A and B are shown apart, each in its own frame.
Chain A
């Protein structure tokens, strides 16, 4: 007696980003509003980080609201119907409610119910991880059109007196629709992690410690100099590898969109990569702040708004952060 063989799914050969969306926190917070608790100055912050303002969200605006707004714009820009979306992936570290996931609710809000939907945490590498997943799932036939979102309300998990990272952080969400393409639009992803250095950046306590009165409300901390060294010199190797696996060189790039961690990292990173002058470098951090998983799509969205000629060009995007998780790939800008 023989049984029928199982059918496995197969998808399309190529994918690309079809459209993007962005939502920044509604409040523009200049350095002058945050310097007192860290005994600092506007000049000190600008010199060391390049941040002039950061966007933060009002108390009644949640990460899920920012994610919804960004996702809706991405779907509209992609020129597809929301009902065609059958996968919603949200990268976040700042959802203050563990379950349900933001993605299920966002899928419903944007008109994509009953799309498969889930959240995951790859910190500041989240968007690059999400793009890798959506690309792979669509090429495998597990989904057809995916909305990937990086969404953060980091202002809920910062300490105004912390001088290591809090003053850099902002709130926002960036989204992309990924779907089938006639040509290769998302190159292979170089990704990984280094949990041996997981203590270099992350929360300073657990929720259990908070519940039991052993720690104040957990907030983000980092060992700045160590993270800087890793983010520039180790990540430069990952970025070069992403170019290599994509089969291109820096000369072929139209844009470089690194995670917007700190302007000093962006500048030193670009220097290490020896990018030609023609490559436009994303520097959204100056006015948006560091928004973790949201920073790459927010920066890409702004680049496209300010430089519409970039559409169709190759962009190298690389995310890196807590974990230490990292991910990089070359994409064709929508």
Chain B
């Protein structure tokens, strides 16, 4: 069954926390991965690969560049699992 936006956000926040130590409650939809959360490209890729596994979706390299905010990633995952 497809997960809701809130569920994906919570799961993604956990992955961000695992990789970077950033508190899960800081990972909000409007936050930019690079500007607000200071996540570098390598950590971003680690989060992406872990998200693929956790949510059973494919996130191609070319798509990763478009995921500027947490909201972008959550929307992508929600629609990809549908």
Contact = CB atoms under 8 A, between A and B. Distances in A.
Contacts of B41: 224-225, 228
A277 B49 CA distance: 24
A252 interface: no
A224 B61 contact: no
A279 to B, nearest CB: 21
A225 B49 contact: no
B42 A224 contact: yes
B45 A228 contact: yes
A218 B44 CA distance: 29
Interface string A223-251: 11110110011000000000000000000
B33 to A, nearest CB: 12
B40 interface: yes
A262 B40 CA distance: 14
B46 interface: yes
Contacts of B44: 225
Contact of A48 (B42, B45, B48): B42
A268 interface: yes
Nearest to A272: B49
A224 B40 CA distance: 11
Contacts of B49: 229, 232-233
A324 B9 CA distance: 35
A268 B61 contact: no
Contacts of A47: 40
A109 interface: no
Interface string A258-269: 000010100010
Given A229-B49, A233-B49, A264 B42 contact: yes
B10 interface: no
Interface of B: 40-42, 44-46, 48-49, 61, 64
Closest 7 CB pairs of A and B: A225-B41, A226-B61, A225-B45, A229-B45, A264-B42, A228-B45, A228-B42
